[in-house]
Amino acid sequence: MSLKDQITEDMKTAMRAKDVERLGTIRLLLAAMKQKEVDERITLDDAAVIAIVDKLIKQRKDSITAFEGAGRQDLADKEKAELAVLQAYLPARMSEAEIVQAVRDIVAEVGAKGPGDMGKVMGAVKARLAGKADMGQVSTAVKAALAG
């Protein structure tokens, strides 16, 4: 079963269980997926769905930070609940040690020498690690690898 089919089934399950919060988050995800399909006239594969989930998770994390900074814990809690639902659709993430090793391998393959090669390395890293690792951690690992 594809990830897209799994999300649709989860929506039906949430409807039957009358789980309003979960249902709302899943509908939000399905709307983002449908928007991408319509805009680009494509059918999403699992990698594209994971990219959308990653984007929505990043938005939730940014919102949580903003709401907590503004003292709106009620809204931050709502975003955290949505974040938990969205994270369930991500595959198991690479550990920090695995990320560092993968970045080192890619830096060696590309032949990067310093911070000026950051773009070249990030392009290769994104192609290989997208959906498998937190890109914030990857960026930090790339900076460390190129600085050292």
DSSP 8-state assignment for residue 95: P
Exposed/middle/buried for residue 62 (C-beta within 10 Å: 0-12, 13-18, 19+): exposed
For 80, other C-beta atoms within 10 Å of its C-beta total 16
For 33, other C-beta atoms within 10 Å of its C-beta total 20
pLDDT digits (tens, 9 = 90+) for 51-63: 899 899 999 999 9
Q: Is the pTM of this model over 0.85?
A: no
Q: How far is CA 100 from CA 60, 90, 94, in A?
A: 26, 20, 10
Residue type, 35: Q
> What pLDDT, on the 0 to 100 scale, is given for residue 91?
82
Mean pLDDT value of segment 93-111:
83
> What pLDDT, on the 0 to 100 scale, is given for residue 114?
73
> What pLDDT, on the 0 to 100 scale, is given for residue 148?
65
Q: CATH number of the domain at 96-147, out of 1.10.10.410, 3.40.50.300, 1.10.274.10, 3.40.50.720? A: 1.10.10.410
pLDDT digits (tens, 9 = 90+) for 21-40: 999 999 999 999 999 999 99
CATH number for region 3-87: 1.10.1510.10
Q: For residue 93, how many C-alpha atoms fall within 13 Å in the half-sphere facing its CB?
A: 16
Domain with CATH 1.10.10.410 in the chain: 96-147
106 pLDDT tier (thresholds 50, 70, 90) = confident
